[in-house]
Amino acid sequence: MKTIIRNIFLCFTISVFIISCEHSTSTQTGSDLLHGSWQWVKTEGGYFGTGGPNNTPEAAGYTIRKIFKPEGIAQFFKNDTLINQSKYSIIKDTSHSQVTNLLHLEGNENYLDQRIDFRGSDSLILSDNAIDGFYFFYIRIKN
């Protein structure tokens, strides 16, 4: 029985690692690309890989918008109501084979540090820095 559980855990860990590798390849990186307004599109990942029952704004019944200002202030809106504001910083994570940019919200224990990945200049993926974390997909709001 212990061998079966160990094998299941090993398969799960390898699967998560492979998925993480697929999402971590950025076409562009840099904190300058983060500045601006971002609209939540969908969520993937988590324990079962589905992003949960509320994995899109339509399914959740609300919208999420994040604004990252050049002076290091992050603002999070739910249905256009400000729900959180804090200072943010970009941390270089070198614990893996490549350098990864992590978004760190200061003084905010409710949020995990998140990996920052871009697909072009108008598509942002913030992913929890955890084995069974979530991937949050955003598109840039153009003013």
Per-residue pLDDT reduced to its tens digit, 63-99: 999 999 999 999 999 999 999 999 999 999 887 777 8
In whole angstroms, give the CA distance from residue 109 to residue 111: 6
62 contact partners, CB below 8 Å, separation of at least 6 = 78, 79
Give the Cβ contact number of residue 36 at 10 Å: 18
- Residue of higher predicted confidence among 31 and 5: 31
Least confident of 53-57, 61-65, 100-104: 53-57
Residue with tokens 């094998």: 7
| Structural domain span for residue 73 | 2-141
Task: Report the number of distinct structural domains present in the chain.
Answer: 1
Domain of 45, CATH number, reads 2.40.128
Statement: the pTM of the whole predicted model exceeds 0.75: no
Q: What are phi and psi of 26, to 5 degrees?
A: -95, 145
pLDDT in the model for residue 28? 38
